[in-house]
Amino acid sequence: MNESKTQSEIHFVSTIIAVSDLERSTQFYSEIFQWKLFLQEEAVTIFELPDKNHFMLYKKESFAINPGQQPIMVPDGSITATEFYFHTQGLEEVIQRLETHGARTLSPLAERSWGDEAAYYSDPDGNVIAVGRPLKEKK
């Protein structure tokens, strides 16, 4: 690979979301996805994902420091314009954990036109969580 191409590569590092209640969201994501806790401080929780990237939860007040603006939090019962889409072979188990830990069902498990079966939920702050698997891998 030539040097100029290497310099222009962009690598994904983290997903960072603002949350209204850090403790509640930390417990929610920990229970649902069972990711390794990388760091937990007063204003931030960082999970290490299996691919070594990070999923970060910031108190909304602290999230505002870097961009210089307060994020808009949606009212209860609404959703944000953010979606996290995950594949898993343990789909039924993850759906059970979502439902057990208070995720709001948006669209139940169904075959989707792009070749997955997937279900849609929202987290405590209205972020959309989709869990699915390719139909061809269904057991």
| Residue 61 CB partners (closer than 8 Å, separation 6+) | 43, 70
- Are both 86 and 123 inside the same structural domain? yes
Residue 5 pLDDT exceeds 70: no
Based on the fold, state whether residues 119 and 96 are members of the same structural domain: yes
Single out the residue in 34, 65, 96 at which a domain terminates.
65
In a domain, 71, yes or no: no
45: domain CATH number? Answer: 3.10.180.10
User: Domain of 130: which CATH number?
Assistant: 3.30.720.110
Average pLDDT, the chain: 92
Residue 114 CA to its chain's centroid (Å): 21
Does 73 fall in a domain?
no
Please count the structural domains in the chain.
2
Residues 87 and 93: their CA atoms lie apart, in Å, by 12
Amino acid identity at 34: Q
CA separation for the pair 129, 83 (Å, rounded): 6
Q: What pLDDT shows up at residue 136?
A: 84
pLDDT band at 8 (very low <50, low <70, confident <90, very high): confident
pLDDT digits (tens, 9 = 90+) for 63-115: 999 999 999 989 999 999 999 999 999 999 999 999 999 999 999 999 999 99
Range(s) of the domain holding residue 106:
79-139
Q: CB neighbours (10 Å) of residue 139?
A: 5
